[in-house]
Structure 1
């Protein structure tokens, strides 16, 4: 289901996005040092 997110839900959304992308980061050896703009590391409430 797709729906609009309200401001109170942003931190939960950030966590879901980061957790979803961290598996890819781990598989490919991405770290915050070598890929700081990768979604798992660069997603914040401000950026959403």
Structure 2
């Protein structure tokens, strides 16, 4: 089951998100998912 999540971000964060999505040729959602996984993995180290 997928869950929709709404977040508020400032302009700088949104620009970084869009730049990352464009560079990776993927969606904003995928960039956010990857970021969550990366942080979670880093915490487990």
Bigger helix fraction: 2
Give the alignment's TM-score, normalised by structure 2: 0.36
Give the alignment's TM-score, normalised by structure 1: 0.35
- Higher relative contact order at CA 8 Å, sep ≥6: structure 1 or structure 2? 1
